[in-house]
Structure formats: C-alpha cells, structure tokens
C-alpha cells in the first residue's frame, strides 16, 4: 500500500512518519482511492492505541500521509525474539482490543490486523497501524464512499487481507464486520503466547486450515497460559462468527479481568469530592472456624458458610467462589487466599456455640489492599442462626456497594425457612452430603426428610433430596428405576414451592438427562438453572457433560471451563474438563486435567479411574492398568466402574482370560445388586464379541442405565457403530 519514511515536519519542528504512494502507483485510480481512504478512515479515530494522522496531501505528483512517528518495534519483531510471556501478552492484547473497540465504535473494521501492523512504543504503549484495507461505514446522513461499498474481493478476484490472519468469511469474500477483526486478534494473540502462527505453513496450507470446519489447533499454547486466556484465543478463532466473542469491548474487559488480581483497587471520586473504592465484583467466603473445636458443631461452620455462599450467589453481579474451592483455604490468611483465588474481597469468620447460644464473628477484607471493609460480632440464641446469616449476606451487599433491584433485595433477604430446627437438620444434611460417600448420602436423605417433616415448605431440603437420589441413581448405589423417580418428585416439589430455585432446576435437568433421556427438557432446565444463578458451578459442570454426550464438544468445553473458573480447586470439575476433552478425542489434553486433580489429592479415586481411561485410549495400556488398579484399591473390591475399566484395558492388552474373569464376576454380582449392563457391554465390545455387547447395551436401555447417555461419543463402542442394532439403539435414544 505504500512506503514509509522517517521525516521531519519543519513547520512544527517534530519528527513524523511519512507514508507515500510510489510514483508507479500514483496513476492507478484504485490504489489512489484506497490510499486516500486509509487517511480518511484513520483520521476519524482519536485513541491512544491507534496511530494519529496529522495530514494528507500531494507534492510534486507524490501522494503522502503524514502520521505520528512511533518509536520502538513492531509486534512481529517482538515475537521474533521469542514468545511473549502471558502477563506481558495480556497487557499488550488489552491495548489492541481497546484500539479495535474504538475503531468498531466508529464503524471501522480494520481487516488486516497482524503483528506487522502493531507497534510497541515506549513504556509498552501499543499502536495499531495501517488502515489501508479498512472498511468504513458512512457517517449518519452521508452517502457511502466507494471504498465503503466495495465487496471483499477486488476486480481481479484477489482476497483482501493477509492469509493466516483473515477470518473464514473474509477468505471466502463474504461481507465482513467487527467479528473478522476478532478472528485476526485471536490469531495474533495465539502467536504471541506460543511463538508460532495459529495457521502455519504456506498460504495454501494456512488458507485451507482457516476454511476447514475443524476448530483451530491450540495445542501449541504452553501450559503456563491461564485456561481463561486460552479460552479467549479459542473464542476469537471460532470459525462461525456467531460463536465468537461478541465485541472488542467485551474482549478488553475479559483481558483486564485476567490482569486485575495484582492491580490496586480502582477508585472513583464522589460528587462531594471524597474518594471511594468501586464496587467489588468477586468474593470468597472462607469456611468459618469452629473456635471451640467441638466436632458436634462442624456442621454449623460448614453449613453457615455454604448458606452465605448460596445467598450471595443469587446476585448476578457478584462472582462467588464455590465451597469446594474455599474449603482448601480453611484457616489460611485471608489476603493469601484472596490473591490465590483472584477475588477482590474475602469474608472470614469464627463461630462459637452451645446448644442454646451462638457467637459469630465476621470480617470482610479487601483482598488487594488488606483494608478491613466491615466487621461485626453477633451474640444470639441458637434459634436466631438464620437471622445471623441473613444479616451477614445483606451487610456484604451493602459494603460491596451493590445497587440491588427490589427483586434482588427481596431474594437476598428471603429466608428458605423460618424454623430453626428444620434449618439445623438441613445443615446437618449438607454436612453429610459433602462427604461424598454412600453412607453420607444416605444420612443426608434422612436429615433432609426430617427438615421437611418440621417444615413441609422447605424448598432447599426438597432440592437436597432430589440431588441425593440423583447421585444414588447415577452412582448405582440404588437401581436407577428406583432412585431417579424419587429425585424427579422431590425436584418438582421444590420448584412448586420456589420456582426460582436454581439448584432444583438443575436437579430436574439431571433426571431428564440421565434417566428420561429427554434432551430438550434437560437442556431447557439446565439453561433455566444457569439463568437464575450464573455462578452455580455444579450446574455448569452438569450442563457441560450433557452437551458432551450429544457431541457438542466446543459448547461442552465452554461450560466445564466456566465451572472451573467458578470452582478452580474442585477435584470433580477438573475431571469434568478432562471428560469433555476425552469425549472430544483429545486424550492427551484430558490427561493434563486428570493429573491436576491427582496433584491436589493423590487419593482421589475418580481421578485415577478417569486418567486410566484416557491412557487406555492414548496407547499407554500398561500405565492405564496400573491406574485402574489404584482406583480399585482406593474404593474397595466392589468398585464396578474401575473393574470394568481394568477389564477393558486387559482386553486391549491381549489378556483375554483375565478380562473374562472380571466379566464373569460382574455378571454374578448382578444377582446381589444393580450392576451396570453398560459396563459389561463395553468389555464384550473390546473382546470383539459384538453381538453379546449389543445384547447387553439393549439390556442397559431396558434398565435405564445412566451411562447410555455417552453412547454417541464413547470410543469403547467404535467397533459397533456400523452395526444396524447399534444404529437402531441410537435412534431409540434420539442420539443419531
């Protein structure tokens, strides 16, 4: 588009960059028109991250643009020295996004964003250059210019843009909008983080990769890149514009959120001149400390903590860390916890209680500055426990300076029950539920039922029963046909009492998904749950797993990653991310997440069985067998799932005799208790006995075996996919 020289403006005594159109092109009307259009387009922008245009003119037959001289180096030169560290990349990328946001707000699409067109000036200031291919909408009331109405292709059929950075719609010559710049941004950010192009190879290879329906390959992004940053790259590089991030402005906000944990709390000046901090948008409620040490009060400390988390999660403006994550910071320094979790505020507390009296000390701390935002001591009768936690939740809302609507205020203030005995029974139920054992789940059901006997309109207790029976059915503690109908009835009763109870919508969705196999009903209930409580990590996890079973892998990964953002230290959510990657056949990536769960807890049985399955399909059979054996050892000899996995791996390893022995053991166990026909079918499939495998799958269908939701995507049944009986089963389940 031209040649650029360093020059001096002798009138104003300053150095500038002078872009000229070479004489050989001056007689080309199309070149001249684009050259002039570049100057007009860029001159409409006045932003620190966009190069400033000083003048445009012609001298001696030479057309020129006089623009700001940016000292420094291009982003291409910076990447040439090696990949950009994540923190530096976020800082630079946020400025690029800001410049794009300003251009898009002015109706300008750059269409040629690439490392060569980004300059890094002094103190890390970013400047976007070269609007020679930009598309500018006409200002309101004005006729569009020739450049504004041109198609994406030139008269000679050449595509405008740079191969490797242009979006699929741009490469096809289709109309483009701001989202095409977001695709290019994703390619640039990928290159910054990895040091290599998002679409490598020559022009033909790069163009083929861009136009292919397959997602961009992000395997080159190093492990030290935060998952949220990697997701931004993935969302920008979506081939379908409708699935990309919505705007450069939102992109900038997300990047700045990634950079905020170490930034000082922002401040604004009130109308009276006083400086005040902005509203805090994320909080971690650390588990209350049982000061007396009486184990009989452990249920109170965890229960009150969870109840406060539940109440605050009702607020769509506030991100609240889940209990399973904050539990790992029990008794830790609040500033250390807050910074590790990346939240703006931390609530800590101590609880002392007897059978009749209660003392709760609560303190809210700014995690970035260490300032005490609020603190209070409550000395109340034990019967007033509900009032205490409600007051704490309301105080947090006030101190974080949220402007609540009337409905939101009523929601926070609404007590799930006014009966202290029912509430204590519910808290004890949650305490046992969180143990995640067969005995714990059964004890939780008994306590929830006691709470309901005291207060039949206690919606949360009904929701607890729904969750407990749902888990009993999915874990085969009870036969699915016995457990899931009870779960459905309890969820419906909870929603009859409180239609806005997000947990109960998710519980109902869980039944629709794993037992009814009613995909539209399940999705509708999941969506309603997450609409009511976007911070419900378990809801995002379940919804992601549901989507994975339908083969909607990218959507599934989006949901499970959202769950992980909300509950970053959850073992089960790490395995859920691993599962979504596993069913997308990205086995090596799934192993990374399973391994992270085991790094946090080497005794986590599900982590061992899940990583074993991924190792099995990535070809590491011997290691897979060892991991299956570890899972069996951790969960006892009756761990059917781990035994099934071990038998599958043995079959692949050629140890047919031992695999058949496990198969015989599982079939004999069916006479004593429910044993998954799905698992038995998988062993027959891996042994090559396809007709037997299909018969057991049909039995799994008749018995409503929950794992059948994975039939469409599970690699253990790949050998059966062309069989008419298998196809018929997929049709019966509406999975074809």
Structural domains of the chain in order of their starting residue, each with its CATH number: 3-68 (3.30.200.20), 73-136+161-260 (1.10.510.10), 282-314+322-415 (3.40.50.10070), 676-736 (no CATH)
Helix (H/G/I), strand (E/B), else coil: 54? strand
Say if CB 183 and CB 237 are below 8 A apart.
Answer: yes
Cβ contacts of 594 within 8 Å, gap of 6 or more:
574, 575, 578, 607, 610, 611, 614
Tens-digit pLDDT profile for residues 258-314:
775 433 344 444 444 444 455 578 889 998 888 877 777 778 887 888 888 887 877
**What is the pLDDT at residue 496?**
96
- Residue ranges for the chain with pLDDT beneath 50: 138-158, 261-276, 637-640
**What is the pLDDT at residue 148?**
36
- In the numeric block, which tokens belong to residue 284? 């971690």
**What is the pLDDT at residue 263?**
36
**What is the pLDDT at residue 60?**
78
**What is the pLDDT at residue 336?**
84
**What is the pLDDT at residue 258?**
75
Say if CB 180 and CB 169 are below 8 A apart.
Answer: yes
- In the numeric block, which tokens belong to residue 152? 């994406």
**What is the pLDDT at residue 665?**
92
**What is the pLDDT at residue 274?**
47
**What is the pLDDT at residue 136?**
64
**What is the pLDDT at residue 138?**
42
Task: Identify the active-site residue in 98, 112, 366, 498.
Answer: 112
- HEC profile of 378-408: EEEEHHHHHHHHHHHHHHHHHHCCCCCCHHH
Cβ contacts of 154 within 8 Å, gap of 6 or more:
30, 160
Tens-digit pLDDT profile for residues 601-617:
899 999 999 999 999 99
Nearest Cα to 446, choosing from 429, 433, 422?
429
- In the numeric block, which tokens belong to residue 387? 């009032």
**What is the pLDDT at residue 3?**
86
- Residue 455 appears among annotated catalytic residues: no
């Amino acid at each position: 588009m031209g040649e650029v020289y360093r020059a001096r403006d002798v009138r104003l005594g300053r150095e500038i960059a002078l872009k000229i159109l070479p004489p050989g092109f001056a007689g080309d009307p199309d070149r001249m028109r684009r050259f002039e259009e570049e100057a007009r387009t860029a001159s409409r922008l006045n932003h620190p991250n966009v190069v400033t245009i000083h003048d445009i003119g012609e001298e001696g037959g030479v057309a020129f643009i006089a623009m700001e001289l940016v000292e420094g180096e291009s982003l291409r030169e910076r990447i040439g020295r090696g990949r950009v560290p994540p923190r530096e990349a976020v800082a630079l990328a946020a400025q690029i996004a800001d410049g794009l946001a300003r251009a898009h707000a002015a109706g300008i699409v750059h269409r040629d964003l690439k490392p060569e067109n980004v300059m890094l000036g002094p103190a890390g200031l970013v400047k976007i250059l070269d609007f020679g291919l930009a598309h500018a909408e006409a200002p309101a009331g004005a006729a569009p210019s020739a450049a504004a109405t041109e198609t994406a292709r030139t008269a000679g059929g050449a595509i405008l843009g740079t191969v490797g950075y242009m979006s699929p719609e741009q490469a096809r010559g289709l109309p483009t909008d701001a989202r095409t710049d977001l695709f290019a941004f994703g390619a640039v950010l990928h290159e910054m983080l990895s040091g290599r192009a998002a679409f490598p190879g020559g022009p033909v290879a790069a163009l083929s990769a861009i136009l292919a329906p397959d997602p961009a390959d992000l395997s080159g992004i190093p492990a030290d890149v935060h998952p949220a940053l990697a997701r931004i790259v993935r969302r920008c590089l979506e081939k379908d514009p409708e699935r990309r991030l919505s705007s450069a402005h939102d992109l900038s906000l997300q990047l700045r959120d990634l950079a905020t944990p170490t930034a000082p709390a922002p401040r604004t000046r009130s109308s009276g001149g006083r400086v005040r901090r902005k509203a805090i948008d994320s909080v971690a409620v650390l588990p209350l400390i049982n000061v007396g040490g009486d184990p009989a009060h452990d249920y109170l400390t965890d229960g009150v903590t969870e109840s406060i988390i539940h109440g605050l999660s009702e607020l769509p403006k506030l991100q609240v860390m889940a209990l399973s994550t904050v539990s790992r910071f029990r008794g830790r320094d609040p500033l250390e916890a807050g910074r590790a979790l990346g939240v703006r505020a931390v609530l800590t507390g101590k609880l002392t209680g007897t059978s009749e009296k209660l003392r709760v000390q609560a303190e809210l701390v700014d995690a970035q500055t260490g300032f005490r935002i609020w603190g209070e001591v409550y000395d109340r009768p034990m019967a007033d426990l509900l009032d205490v936690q409600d007051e704490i939740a309301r105080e947090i809302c006030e101190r974080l300076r949220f402007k609540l609507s009337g409905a939101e205020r009523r929601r926070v203030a609404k007590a799930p029950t006014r009966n202290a005995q029912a509430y204590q029974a519910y808290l004890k139920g949650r305490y046992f539920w969180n143990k995640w054992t067969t005995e714990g789940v059964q004890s939780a059901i008994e306590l929830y039922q006691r709470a309901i006997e005291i207060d039949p309109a206690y919606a949360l207790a009904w929701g607890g029963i729904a969750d407990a029976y749902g888990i009993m059915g999915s874990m085969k503690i009870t036969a699915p046909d016995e457990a899931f109908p009870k779960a459905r009835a309890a969820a419906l009763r909870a929603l009859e009492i409180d239609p806005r109870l997000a947990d109960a919508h998710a519980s109902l969705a869980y039944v629709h998904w794993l037992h009814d196999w009613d995909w539209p009903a399940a999705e509708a209930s999941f969506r309603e749950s997450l609409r009511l409580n976007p911070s419900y990590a378990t809801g995002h996890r379940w919804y992601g797993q549901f989507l994975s079973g339908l083969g909607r892998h990218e959507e599934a990964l989006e949901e499970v990653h959202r769950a992980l953002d909300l509950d970053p230290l959850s073992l089960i959510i790490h395995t859920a991310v691993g599962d979504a990657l596993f069913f997308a056949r990205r086995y090596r990536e799934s192993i990374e997440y399973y391994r992270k769960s085991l790094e946090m807890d080497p005794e986590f049985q599900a982590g061992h069985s899940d990583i074993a399955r991924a190792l099995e399909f990535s070809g590491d059979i011997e290691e897979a067998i060892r991991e299956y054996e570890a899972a069996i050892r951790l969960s006892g000899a009756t761990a059917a799932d781990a035994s099934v996995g071990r038998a599958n791996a043995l079959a692949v390893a050629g140890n047919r005799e031992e695999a058949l022995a496990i198969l015989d053991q599982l079939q004999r166990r069916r006479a004593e208790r429910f044993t998954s026909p799905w698992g038995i079918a998988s062993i027959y499939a891996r042994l090559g006995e396809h007709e037997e495998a299909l018969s057991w799958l049909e039995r799994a269908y008749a018995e409503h075996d929950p794992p059948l939701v994975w039939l469409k995507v599970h690699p253990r049944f790949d050998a059966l996919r062309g069989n008419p009986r298998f196809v018929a089963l997929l049709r019966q389940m509406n999975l074809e």
